[in-house]
Chain A
Amino acid sequence: MNAYPTAIGAVGWLYGSVYTDGWATAVPGYRTIQIGASTYTIASGAAQPYWFWEWLTALDTAIGGGWGLALSGDTWTLGGGAPAVVTWLDRTGWLLGFDAEPGDAEPSASSLSPRAPSPAAVPLISCERPEAMSRDAQSKLQISKFGRGHGWTYGAADVYRCRVKLDRLGFDALNTGWLLSGMPVALSPFDVETHALGGATAYDGAYPNGYLTGRILGTDGDGSWVGELVYETTLLLAVEVP
């Protein structure tokens, strides 16, 4: 059950990834949390980038003092210990869905739930089956270029057109740009808890309902609002060809 109000339940999610360290170097931004007087940092050494659910697990592992992240369906709760003030030292809180700036603190509590969907786990209230674009169409593709270096297909990849609908909070999360930055993403029918517990299955010929990984090149044309609550757009997803 989401802590934040949603009009319609999600049927799928678009997950992103998070980079916290690599090459024996810590990458600042999304790895630290302060609970009470204690600061907890995601340990270095794991393969990077983390899928979002892996990042949640790593954060849960890092947190001590009786606190932790409890996953439930497509949301999570930070708590479990004695009431304490949680201070966001970097953008970890924002990525968890707390819409918090570095330096912000949550009122003392023993349990905290996100106020919005994570920008790295956007719920989709509708997701049509991705449609492969023809090679010819790909070569003529004109797409919006969200960021430098993105919007083009590198390597051997197939591009899929995927029509999705989002509620207003999902739109806001997608609109932060995290998932549109060209990072590895997963278009998945499984919630985050299922992923974290290893219950999610990747797409292949034998399991067509699995999750699909790739990178979002952009959107195909402009999106539109259906009424005031639902935003509809078509994502262009590049999927690597083995």
Chain B
Amino acid sequence: MGLWEDLLRAGYQYAIDLEIDGIATIFPETSPRRVNSSAEMAAPSGYTVCPALLFDSGLVMSQEIDRETGIARGDAVDLCLAWEPLEEAGLTTSLFARPTKRVRLTADLAYGATSADVESTSGWTAGERGYIGHEQIEIGAITDGDTFGSLTRGIAGHANVYKASSPTSFSFVTDKPENFRGRWVILRKHLLSPEGRALDSTWTTGDWNRIIWRGRIDEQPRPTEFGMVLRALPLPRLASQEIGYEISMATMAPAEDPLAFADFPIVAQAGSYVLLTGTYSGPSSGTFSARVPAYTTETATTIGGWANQMRADIETALAAQPWFTAGEVQVGIVGAQLSDYLYHNGAPAGTLDVRIAFTAAYTVHITITILPTADTYWMKPGVFEGYAGLVNQPIFWWKDQLRIQMDHQAGAWLPVVQTEGQGYQDLTIPSSGAAIAEADGSKELIRWDRLLPGGTYDGTLKLLHISERGAGGTSLIPLAADTELKFVSGHTGTVGEVICTLLESSGTGLRGAYDTLAVGLGFGVADDSIDEAAITADVDLNLQTIAAYADGRTSLEELIGGWLAIHAKCLVQRRNAAGEFKLTIVNTEPFAVHGFTRALERADVELSSIGTPEPVAFGNEVKVTRSSIVSDTPPVIVQDIVAIQAAGPRSFEFTCPGMGETLAVQLGASRIAAGLGTATIQVALAPWFDGQIGDDLADKLAHPASYDWATGTRAPERLAAIFAGEQFCPFDGRRVGTFLLAGILREGLFLCPTATVLTVPTTSTVTTDIGSVTCFSPNDATFFALFYNPGNEGTESAELEVLADFELAAGTWPAWVAPGTKITFVALGGGNHAELEPVHIFQAPSRHWAA
């Protein structure tokens, strides 16, 4: 319990406010005066306040762990803004009314743009505010008849990307917001003293408020008898919303035709040179070296254009050489004859023909070196000596050595043409993403991180900057002409990274470090709503990189939910240790040996409102689907045939793309075990009880309705439980918690990591059969471990303090520590509970289990 809870227990109350993304008005329930001023609470800078928030008596804000999907459930919340205060503040006409000004974008609007091209600025004035999509902007200047200038973007929210071609109102600037569905909403509690005075001076800020709920508006505003209702869903339910889109592309490859080679689109940049080196002797002698062509900026061009630039740059680079004959350099694509580069017979198509003339009085040797880099991905790398011509034809000549050979490695640019998915106007290849290429039954996952238009070529041509070939462990396939690339949604990374990336990506890069995917491929949740550190540090979920992709549209729940659920984890929103209310991952199993972060005491509950335990059904057959779009892996089915015969089948399925077989078997078995005797119980909670969803706790109610399966005791003094769900009625402040109680075989099935001593090289060190001890202690430099020899635990076991590599912190090994000695967790009471807690649950293939 902390100060907040102490104050609630001492008669303090709270008022709730509502913040809506892109709306510069805060909607609290009331306008309390402050404890240190006679004034009412103030609006934060840039906002106004309208005390219109109204909660219906039947409204319940809920969140409940879902052990099958891995994503928390929660009811929709109707946020009602009362008519009278809305009307007094003029918001019925300024927020909830049809726009009187509405002008369409005529060009795409980037997230950082400070000017917008529109059809007409007529009727708009400088300093006016407008709305586009979910964003509020201030038009600082009317630049001209069709341009808004000096834009202030993302007022009271975030800047976004807009396309002029959008078929919806997201391509219109309006004077009143049109789009409410999808806006983020935040509910906060502000503490009030027992007389109802506010401790904070300003809404949404200060030391005495807490975010209690984040969500997303799910439908357009709905007028009701009492006010305008905004229906919102809790943030975790975002995970079931689909993202991504369906697009197919076809690759281009140079045909065996000189003209096709010449016209083949490439991207040249500073590194796209060949190295020209040589020596000369005769009237004078010396060496020379040049890098040609000498591009300084990234340039979308063709192989022919690049060759032509090379010709010009050779002329420049060698102009001062005494042996050089100016104006005679020829660079051609063999087979092609265009205006700037020449045709030569006698060499195979797909060859770069280079000729450099020299003065016959000199003897010249020239070498062309093509480095094996992605900057010249269209040329075969190597060192190539030219042929010196005869005295009466003094030309140095590379006739058939310089092969044009596409190598679309990472860093290269792949030309593609969109072949499918271009619906009404705005569905185009995203600037970054991933696609599956398929050939001869093999699949390859290719990722790109940038996209360029194809320059002067057909407008449908795009060049993808390849960031990874063979992603997700897929094999490389040849990218011949017309190889189909099918766009896939998702991301590659650890489970935590995939979650953060899909949640955060908005196409702007503004939401946080994981905002890396193009627009439409993520949810655009700002990083202040995501506990990135906790999600990516979860030791059970972040040991393995997976390729989490699905064909076309998919949801976070479909991609990753199975990984969470089978690991007994769930994505929820709750406060972290720093007091920040964010999306995070919690455990869902009441392990009896947990560290019990808190206890549920009789004084914390309404004793007359304790329900009876309800058994939780779970399966005796678990199917783990491991295939993904990039790999066809057989599913793992864990089943208990005897139990199925005895009790009938009860199946559950988890989708865990990329999961190894061993891990799937172990986790599937643990899921079956998890269903034995677990039960939930509902309890009315005091407002000051500080437990949150996902907390493991000791149920100390000793209520007659509870039962300890471990000891066969009724009304046990202490029972392991997980805070599995909560309902909160903001109308009357009533809280009801749902607790998942430990089942019949919990402790017997508890799994524990064990290492085996391999050698004892010194009196204080050992080597073991595990390379890492992070599963023992992810954070501590020293920790206690239990050393024992199986069968002789009575005399040969000890809890010893060791360093991260199992080296004794002090002293020497007992004499019985020898090869074969087992190392495992200490009894709970001897360890650091905070450190042991997150790793006490078996999850990862790198951990070893002893019989």
Q: Footprint of B on A, CB under 8 Å?
A: 16-17, 19, 22-23, 25, 27-30, 48-49, 89-91, 94, 101-104, 119, 138-139, 145, 147-156, 176-178, 181-184, 240
Contacts and interface: CB of A to CB of B under 8 A. Distances in A.
Contact of A139 (B34, B37, B196, B608): B608
Contact of B734 (A48, A101, A139, A149): A149
A146 B526 CA distance: 38
A50 B684 CA distance: 28
Given A19-B7, A25-B3, A182-B11, A177 B195 contact: yes
B195 A119 contact: yes
B606 A153 contact: yes
Nearest to A119: B195
Interface string B591-607: 00000000001111111
B687 interface: yes
Nearest to A29: B35
A92 B34 CA distance: 13
B282 to A, nearest CB: 88
Query: 7 smallest A-B Cβ distances: which pairs?
Result: A148-B733, A183-B11, A29-B35, A149-B687, A181-B11, A155-B603, A181-B194
B199 A19 contact: no
A91 B193 contact: yes
Contact of B194 (A25, A28, A152, A178): A178
Contacts of B207: 25
Nearest to A185: B11
Nearest to A89: B36
Given A17-B10, A23-B3, A149-B688, 15 more contacts: A29-B193, A48-B6, A49-B10, A91-B197, A102-B37, A148-B730, A149-B733, A149-B735, A152-B684, A152-B734, A155-B603, A155-B605, A156-B602, A177-B194, A183-B194
A205 B493 CA distance: 68
A148 B16 CA distance: 11
B334 to A, nearest CB: 80
B8 interface: yes
B605 A154 contact: yes
B63 to A, nearest CB: 18
B343 interface: no
- Interface magnitude class on chain B: 35 or more
With most chain B CB atoms within 10 A of its CB, the pick from A25, A89, A152, A184 is A152
Interface of B: 2-3, 6-8, 10-14, 34-38, 193-197, 199, 207, 601-608, 684, 686-688, 730, 732-735
Nearest to A153: B606
A139 B609 CA distance: 10
Nearest to B16: A148
5 contacts: A27-B7, A101-B38, A104-B38, A148-B13, A177-B196
A181 B194 CA distance: 6
A148 B12 contact: no
B14 A27 contact: no
Contacts of B606: 152-154
Contacts of A94: 195
Contact of A30 (B38, B193, B602, B605): B193
Contact of B3 (A27, A176, A184): A27
A101 B38 CA distance: 6
Contacts of A101: 38
Contacts of B733: 147-150
B36 A148 contact: no
B35 A102 contact: yes
A27 B3 CA distance: 9
Contact of A28 (B3, B199, B604): B199
A23 B10 contact: no
Given A90-B36, A152-B606, A29 B199 contact: yes
A88 to B, nearest CB: 10
A27 B193 CA distance: 10
Contacts of A103: 37-38
Given A147-B733, A149-B686, A27 B199 contact: yes
Nearest to A49: B10
Contact of B604 (A17, A147, A148, A155): A155
Given A29-B36, A103-B37, A155-B607, A181 B7 contact: no
Nearest to A138: B608
A40 B2 CA distance: 26
With most chain B CB atoms within 10 A of its CB, the pick from A139, A177, A182 is A182
Contacts of B197: 29, 91
B11 A156 contact: no
Nearest to B602: A155
With most chain A CB atoms within 10 A of its CB, the pick from B8, B11, B601, B687 is B11
A90 B3 CA distance: 20
A28 B687 contact: no
Contact of A178 (B36, B195, B607): B195
Contacts of A150: 687, 733
Contact of A19 (B6, B608, B735): B6
A17 B193 CA distance: 12
A19 B12 contact: yes
A192 to B, nearest CB: 18
B156 to A, nearest CB: 28
A91 B34 CA distance: 9
A145 B607 contact: no
